[in-house]
Amino acid sequence: MQINPSILSADFANLEAELMSIASADMAHVDVMDNHFVPNLTLGTAIVERLAKVSPIPLDVHLMIEHPDKWAIGYAQAGASSVTFHLEAATEPIDLARRLRAAGVKAAVAIKPATKVSDIAHLIQEVDMLLVMTVEPGFGGQPILVETLEKIAQARQLIEGSGARVALQVDGGVTESNIAQLASLGADSFVAGSAIYNSPDRANQILRLRGLALAASNPK
């Protein structure tokens, strides 16, 4: 069970310190938005490169941008350990996944709430992780969309049926109150922003979220 705090909820004036405060997490989730694919603008390759140099944990870069076929490799070269692109934005997703892997990073594909899990079936053998968005991408702090929950179970079924070793990540509205349910549906990687960064003890909160997910995935 991986807990990947989203630095979208961090203090952007103190990102090095904010990364240090989540050193007990598995990866730092870095949201890259271009104000075209989603209605928000965050950061680019230059900042990711600097973050990679100071982060105590690997970077899980989530590209919410147009034309990832053109830009994704730059984030691998900037120091990301995992690069996620959106199925809805990629022109040649299989080729992009293969190029990311060839660049030495994990390749991941994300789907928005309205995209069917079946649309990703042809890619499942080509990626290391599938990200199911449980909110509309663009802004942190949104409540989870209940209608996306069934997609987590569908995604787990797809992964198990393929025989591939693929992580199943959920991103959007993950909290203490729902992480157990998400884990029971089949998720094993969790992006949490405000649920961690709003806590006065982030290390303990990471531990608590991981424990809740583990307990739900291994019921007695």
Q: What is the pLDDT of residues 86-98, one digit of tens each?
A: 999 999 999 999 9
What CATH number corresponds to the domain at position 26? 3.20.20.70
- The lowest-confidence range among 83-87, 164-168, 215-219 is 215-219
51: confidence class by pLDDT, cuts 50, 70, 90: very high
Number of domains in the chain: 1
Domain that residue 14 falls in: 2-217
Candidate list 31, 34, 60, 188, residue with the active-site label: 31
Question: Using CA atoms, how far apart are residues 109 and 217, in angstroms rounded to an integer?
Answer: 23
Candidate list 26, 34, 128, 171, residue with the active-site label: 171
- Residue 165 burial (C-beta neighbours within 10 Å; 0-12, 13-18, 19+): exposed
Is 171 annotated in the active site?
Answer: yes
Question: Using CA atoms, how far apart are residues 104 and 101, in angstroms rounded to an integer?
Answer: 5
What average pLDDT score do residues 12-33 get? Answer: 97
Record the tokens describing residue 173, joined without a space. Answer: 């509205």
Question: Using CA atoms, how far apart are residues 150 and 28, in angstroms rounded to an integer?
Answer: 26
Higher pLDDT, 141 or 195: 195
Query: Which of 82, 128, 90 lies closest to 112, judged by CA?
Result: 90
Q: What is the pLDDT of residues 171-183, one digit of tens each?
A: 999 999 999 999 9
